[in-house]
Structure formats: structure tokens, C-alpha cells
């Protein structure tokens, strides 16, 4: 009689195990298109046999099996591939934002175009050439003045946009610090839940998937390192400073750079010390702000300063329409700000209050002679002479930005290929295969049906026995 009842228990265990396995398979199928999901497997093992070995046990056939049970629901994951994906995600975040930053700088320079600095230089050069041929023509003088103003406005426009973009990156970094803090807080919350589930001898597979997705997002922002402790907590550090420890998260914030009070850097709020960022989106934004933009603003300012000095020197070497020696053509109207930007205007515009146009002040002649326009020609050479000139120096700036942007785009493409390969490899191990899951459905369904038949047959034996009794 006991053997028949034990047979019912064997069948019941089989039914329950196959049903739970079907639940796991259904969960896999439901998440087939979830890129952050790692497939799960119900690991079966034989339940503890009857009876336990002991001196009081009688001999005979020995122990009898008591059926099957689920040892655990396993999360299928290759941690080595996973760690490679996290590392490459840092580089992808860096190069993607670096390329966007350089592309934005290219857009601000807007070359070649009909409204950029290069076009303004060409128009100014053309008007100086016209003036050299017609030095006494007020219309030619007026075009020189207007094109000079346009050139100054073009420089101002580009410098202002570069400076505005630099300031906007500070806001990006503030937002990034807030975003990092949200992610680390969520990881800390998940740590608490995962430890609790593991403490009850269960597998927190879905929570682990969610935590991995957050950690991957964190890697795209900043280079971090992690380890998992014995309880299941993910301990996360940045530049050797803990930002997640168990259920605690430590915030990052933008702080004043100890070496440069005009610059904000990422800092650890608890310790107050800077965090040296070496990769990720935050590194790219800092590098664009502190290196790419700063360098190009300095180059543009140096170009404008050298142009003004050279032009003023040559202009002073000539004579105006009244035969007087030329003065400064351009002049500075503002001191340097934090970005070392100098604002210029036309010096001859100061004379408009006394003279209706101030055009006579343009020193087009190389000597005190009517109809001489040789100095205007010399002035035009500043922009288009053989060898180094203002236009060639400006084009070097544009070429440098373009080359850097092109390299960054290639690096973005390379990182996309690397990550795609790693993701494909990861999905081949951890991704849900619908063909595989359909086969599992059939396997578990047939096992369930067989277990049900086994129970039916056992019940028939029990009925027969009860009839005999």
C-alpha cells in the first residue's frame, strides 16, 4: 500500500516539475524580443531517494527513487562576454559623443558656405582689389568698409557660437551627473532586492538582468569597475571611489577643478575629491569642452589678432585720401574674457561723428599721389599672398577639425562593429531561440502527459487493491 502511495507522489512531483518547466519556457518566449533578457533554464535533478541509508534499514533492492524536482532556475550567461560588452560600451559612448561634438564644431564653422568666414575673407579681398584699381571711388571704399564689418561679424558669430556650445556642455555634464546618480541609486535598490531573494534560496534572474542593463547604461556614461560580493551585491567604483556599495549609493556632482577655478569637473560628493574620468560620454564631453573647443577658440582668436596686427601695420604704411598717413584700420573694443575672446571693430567708424562716412580714412595709397592704390593691393595680399596668409591659416583650422571629425566617425563605426559582434556572440549564448523553446514546449508537454498517465495507472492499481480488500 505504501509503495502505491509513494508512486502517486512520484507522479505528482513529475507533474509539478514539468509544469514549472513549461512556465520557464513560456517566460523565455514572452521575452524573446527583450534585448536585456537572458534566457533561463529549469535544471532538473532526482529528488532524495527512499530510504536513507542506515543500520536499521533492511536489505533488498536498496534505495528507490522518489521522482524529480527543480534544483534551480538557471540564468544562462557568459560573464566573460558580458564584461567585454561593458568595456566596449564605454568606448562606444566616448567616440559617439566625441564625433557629435566635433560635428557640432564643424557645423558652427559652417565651411564651405556663402556665409562663413572664408567667404567673408574672399569678399573683403575682392573689395580691396577693386579699391586698388579705383582708389578715389567712394563706392569702392564703401565696399571695403562694409566687407570689413561683415568679416568682423563673421568672426564674432563663430566665436560666440563656440563659446555658447562650451557653456552648454557644462549643462550636459550637470545632467550627466544627475543621470549617473539615478542609475547608481537604482542599482543599490536592486542590490537590496537581489540579496533578499538569494537569502531565501531563490534565483533573482530577472532582477539580475535589470541590474546588468543599468550597469551597461552606466558604462556608456563613465568608466566604472565592479565586483559581486558573496551576498550578491554589485559593488561599483569610479576612479577607485565607491559609488555603489550594497544598498548604498554615493552621489557624483560637478565641482570646481582644484587646478583651474574656471573649470568644473566631476567630483565624489561624499569625499569632495575629483573623479578622474577616462572613458564614456562624460569623458568625451569634458574633452570637447576643455580641449577641442578651447583649442579652436584660441586658434580663431590668434588668427583674428594676427590679421588685425598685420592689417593695421600695412594700413599705417599707406596714405588716406587726404594724403595723411594711415592709422589703425581695426581696433579692440573689449578686454579678454575667460575664453580669451577679443572683440574688434573698425577704427574708422569712430570718425563717422565728424565725417559723414569716414571713407577718406582708408589708406589705399602707398604714397601721397592721386590715383595711387598700391597699398590697397598690399592689404589684399595679407589674405591671398603666396605661402602662409590669413586665408590659408583659417583653412588649416577647418581642415584640422574635419580630419578629427572623420577619425572620430571611423572610431564610431569600429566600435559599432565590435559591439555588434560581441552582442551577437552574447545572444547566441544567452538569447532566446524560439525554435529551441518550441522544442522544449513539446518535450515538457509530453513529459507532463506521461506523468499524468502514470498517475492514472497508479490510481487503477489502488482501485484494484481496494476492491480486493
Domains of the chain, by residue range, sit at 2-75+434-468, 85-417
- Cα dihedral across residues 330, 335, 336, 341: positive or negative: negative
Q: Is the pLDDT of residue 430 over 80?
A: yes
- What number is the average pLDDT over the span 217-230? 96
Q: Give the pLDDT band of residue 343 (cuts 50, 70, 90).
A: low
Kindly provide the b/e burial profile for residues 29-54, where b requires at least 16 CB atoms within 10 angstroms of the residue's own CB. Answer: eebeeeeebbbbebebeebeeeeeee
pLDDT of residue 247: 94
Q: Is the pLDDT of residue 465 over 50?
A: yes
- pLDDT-above-70 percentage for the chain: 91
pLDDT of residue 353: 43
Beta strand segments in 143-298, E: 225-228, 234-238, 241-245, 248-249, 252-257, 260-268
Q: Give the pLDDT band of residue 296 (cuts 50, 70, 90).
A: very high
pLDDT of residue 55: 53
- What number is the average pLDDT over the span 319-347? 73
Q: Give the pLDDT band of residue 352 (cuts 50, 70, 90).
A: very low
Render pLDDT for 255-290 as a digit per residue (tens, 0 to 9): 998 888 888 899 999 999 999 999 999 999 999 999
243 contacts 179 by C-beta, under 8 angstroms: no
What pTM did the predictor assign? 0.86
Cis amide prior to 324 (ω within 30 degrees): no
Amino acid at each position: 500500500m505504501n509503495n502505491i502511495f509513494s508512486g502517486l507522489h512520484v507522479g505528482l512531483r513529475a507533474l509539478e516539475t514539468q509544469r514549472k518547466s513549461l512556465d520557464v519556457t513560456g517566460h523565455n518566449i514572452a521575452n524573446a524580443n527583450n534585448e536585456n533578457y537572458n534566457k533561463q533554464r529549469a535544471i532538473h535533478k532526482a529528488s532524495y531517494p527512499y530510504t536513507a541509508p542506515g543500520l536499521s534499514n533492511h536489505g533488498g533492492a536498496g534505495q528507490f527513487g522518489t521522482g524529480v524536482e527543480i534544483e534551480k532556475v538557471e540564468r544562462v550567461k557568459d560573464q566573460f562576454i558580458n564584461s567585454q560588452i561593458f568595456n566596449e560600451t564605454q568606448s562606444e559612448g566616448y567616440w559617439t559623443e566625441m564625433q557629435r561634438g566635433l560635428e557640432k564644431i564643424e557645423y558652427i564653422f559652417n565651411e564651405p558656405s556663402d556665409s562663413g568666414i572664408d567667404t567673408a575673407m574672399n569678399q573683403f579681398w575682392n573689395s580691396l582689389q577693386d579699391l586698388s584699381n579705383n582708389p578715389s571711388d567712394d563706392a569702392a571704399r564703401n565696399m571695403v568698409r562694409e566687407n570689413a564689418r561683415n568679416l568682423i561679424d563673421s568672426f564674432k558669430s563663430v566665436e560666440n557660437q563656440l563659446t555658447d556650445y562650451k557653456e552648454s556642455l557644462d549643462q550636459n555634464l550637470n545632467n550627466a551627473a544627475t543621470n549617473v546618480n539615478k542609475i547608481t541609486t537604482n542599482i543599490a535598490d536592486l542590490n537590496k532586492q537581489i540579496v533578499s531573494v538569494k537569502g531565501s534560496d531563490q534565483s533573482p534572474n530577472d532582477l539580475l538582468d535589470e541590474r546588468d542593463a543599468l550597469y551597461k547604461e552606466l558604462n556608456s556614461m563613465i568608466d566604472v569597475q565592479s565586483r559581486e560580493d558573496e551576498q550578491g551585491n554589485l559593488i561599483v567604483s569610479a576612479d577607485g571611489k565607491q559609488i555603489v556599495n550594497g544598498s548604498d549609493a554615493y552621489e557624483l556632482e560637478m565641482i570646481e577643478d582644484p587646478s583651474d577655478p574656471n573649470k568644473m569637473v566631476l567630483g565624489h560628493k561624499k569625499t569632495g575629491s575629483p573623479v578622474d574620468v577616462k572613458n564614456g560620454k562624460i569623458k568625451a564631453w569634458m574633452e570637447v569642452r576643455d580641449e577641442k573647443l578651447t583649442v579652436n577658440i584660441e586658434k580663431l582668436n590668434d588668427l583674428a589678432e594676427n590679421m588685425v596686427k598685420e592689417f593695421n601695420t600695412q594700413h599705417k604704411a599707406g596714405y588716406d585720401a587726404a594724403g595723411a598717413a594711415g592709422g589703425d584700420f581695426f581696433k579692440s573694443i573689449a578686454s579678454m574674457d575667460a575664453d580669451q575672446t577679443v572683440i574688434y571693430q573698425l577704427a574708422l567708424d569712430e570718425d563717422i561723428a565728424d565725417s559723414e562716412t569716414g571713407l577718406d580714412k582708408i589708406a589705399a595709397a602707398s604714397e601721397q599721389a592721386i590715383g595711387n592704390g598700391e597699398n590697397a593691393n598690399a592689404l589684399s595680399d595679407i589674405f591671398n599672398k603666396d605661402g602662409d596668409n590669413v586665408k590659408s591659416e583659417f583653412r588649416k583650422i577647418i581642415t584640422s577639425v574635419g580630419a578629427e571629425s572623420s577619425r572620430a566617425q571611423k572610431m564610431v563605426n569600429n566600435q559599432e562593429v565590435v559591439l555588434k559582434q560581441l552582442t551577437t556572440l552574447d545572444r547566441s549564448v544567452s538569447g532566446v531561440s524560439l525554435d529551441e523553446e518550441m522544442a522544449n514546449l513539446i518535450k515538457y508537454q509530453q513529459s507532463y502527459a506521461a506523468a499524468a498517465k502514470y498517475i492514472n495507472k497508479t490510481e487503477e492499481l489502488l482501485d484494484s487493491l481496494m476492491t480486493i480488500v
